Amino acid sequence: MTNITIKSVDNIRLMFAYNPTMFPGPDSVRCSFVIACKGCQRHIPAPVQTLPSSWIIAACPLCGEKRRYLPADIFQGRVSAALLKKPVQSAGWW
């Protein structure tokens, strides 16, 4: 009887040892280029397809500031979670 419980415990440990969340696949949140906003310090998508050779102007969708960024400020990464939050819809009955 004890061998059966030991085997089932081993199987459960192996099942949780390799959880699918350990191996994240392609992420839709990842942008090709992002900028750290100088106003709110959050990562926003850069309005470029390739790394530019001169400065660019980008408007932050969170704080609304338009600022200039040098190529050294642009990097590959993920946008902030604040940009991914969906707005809450009201019931509309009042």
Residue 82 has pLDDT above 60, yes or no: yes
Q: What average pLDDT does the segment 77-89 reach?
A: 75
Q: What pLDDT is attached to residue 85?
A: 72
Q: Which DSSP category does 87 fall into?
A: P
Cα–Cα distance between 25 and 43 in angstroms, integer?
21
**Two structure tokens written together for 72:** 């050294």
**Two structure tokens written together for 23:** 């191996």
pLDDT tens string 69-78? 999 999 998 8
pLDDT tens string 14-68? 666 665 655 555 554 456 899 999 999 999 999 998 888 999 999 999 898 899 9
Q: End-to-end CA distance of the chain, in Å? A: 65
Please give the sequence-ordered ranges of beta strands (E in DSSP) within the chain, or none if there are none: 30-36, 43-45, 56-59, 66-69, 74-78
Q: What pLDDT is attached to residue 70?
A: 94
Residue 45 phi/psi, 5-degree rounding, is -70, 140
Neighbours of 34 (CB within 10 A): 20
The structural domains of the chain, with segments of one domain joined by +, span: 24-81
